[in-house]
Chains A and B, each alone.
Chain A
Amino acid sequence: MRLSVRQRFWRGVWVALKRRPSRILGVIIMALFVFMAIAGPWFYPDRLPYNVDNMYAPISWDHPLSTDFEGVDVLALVITGTRGVLLVAVAAGLVTMLVGTAAGLYAGYRRGAADSVLMRIADFALTIPGFPLLIVLTTAMNFGAWWKMALVLGLIGWGGLARAVRSQTLSLRERGFIEAARGLGLPTRHIVTKELLPNVAPFIATNLLMAVTGYIYAQVGLYFLGVLPLDTSNWGVMLNAAVFQSGALISPDALPYLLAPLGAILLLTLGVVLIVDALEEIFNPRLREG
């Protein structure tokens, strides 16, 4: 049976996932978060109902994860808080992926002066401590629109990917098939997209996933520190309130309010870890067919 390239790819994905049940768990977790981000806010009104008489309510069917200091349902807070953060993180991840991949491929394939300059810049981006820079920028610039935040996050984090892609490209360049493609007169566009890119795809995919989670946490961190305005609801705002304001660290009643965002972060990390484990295999035909 001759399968198309796409069919063969998806079959490979399935084979790689099946090999370890934990990977399927990872996919389920990720799907859950994506679903929460896309559909979550549809289940709740724009302004979540609050009831100050019902703060830190005991766990029940109505409030499976208790309520916060204003009596707002914690589960609702966790779910509705996903979208905004995830949107910015995905957009920032795409920026990182585009810039990092392009810079890495260009530097590794062209070499020479362009390579030196690009890699100096990448080193610079890698060395400057990203989070302090982010805080300073956020304070100074007051990012209003979500895409500005995404752009800045994405531009801060591209150095690592660029370096990784470049070193991969350099070593691939030494391999005969790139030389052969050049010798056959295939255009550079073809060499980069069809010969190089599939070989660095696993790196890029893994890196994209890690970058997106990194950017989620960076935003959560900014909210948590109170650097970004606390007028929305998300995991960071919840943590800020729980740790610095409402004394959730001391009161056992408020524990679910603290644990819910922490649990969400842990669960997301688990999902990412489990999927990254599968990615390498998915993109490598050698491992795929074992």
Chain B
Amino acid sequence: MENNVILETEGLCKYWGGLKALDNLSLAFHDKQLHGIVGPNGAGKSTLLNMLCGHYKPTSGEIIYRGESISSIKPFEFARRGIGRSFQKTNIYTNATCLENCCVAVQRLMGGSFNFFRSRYSQKMLDDIATKALEKVGLAHRRDYIASQISYGEQRQLEIAMVLATSPALLLLDEPMAGMGHEESQLIINLLNTLKKEYCIVLVEHDMDAIFELSDQLTVMVDGQHLVTGSVDEVREDARVKEAYLGQGDEVY
């Protein structure tokens, strides 16, 4: 297994003043696997993702990507190395079409972003790649819709399409199913199921059904600290996890 680790953290810490949002976390993420992260609210999951994509700088510790420490590079360089992410709150270009949203992503790869004169509409190839990304998440029929006019679930799909359009090696997803109806959730679950065959995915989610169904590896965090990592079944039966996170029994009254 060791050989296909693409991202690792070593003793990663993030302190907000006195608060240890993340304390000494060492994890390894493997290629072509979906790594679920769960934990109570405020456990530091979003903080972790924010550091893995360069949005926050770690207080201490290392992030190692394909064997190279990247803790000190600029935020935008994370994406350039193939680390793509979606945000906890939908984060798209609301005033542009879905296609245009993806084009922005593709253009970074294709170059030409410093071209002052070449029309942005002149490159067929760019459009094609963007369309492919939309197809991948099942949004092809919304290609020319303005992003603010599609439904919430579709917006989340679009966000994933944008990340895919940057051809990442690694996807960091923060609660992609939040606020989504059953049907839409199912769509995303199916999507992730296919995507994890190609990418390494780190998924933070409170929807237990989804996370149990999808995860190859599952990490539980509590109060900034690592609790357990293991397969879904291992984690599910772990007494500490039940106490700290899942609680006893079902969520039904």
Binding partners A and B = no
Q: Which residues of A contact B (CB under 8 A)?
A: none
Please report B residues at the A interface, Cβ cutoff 8 Å. none
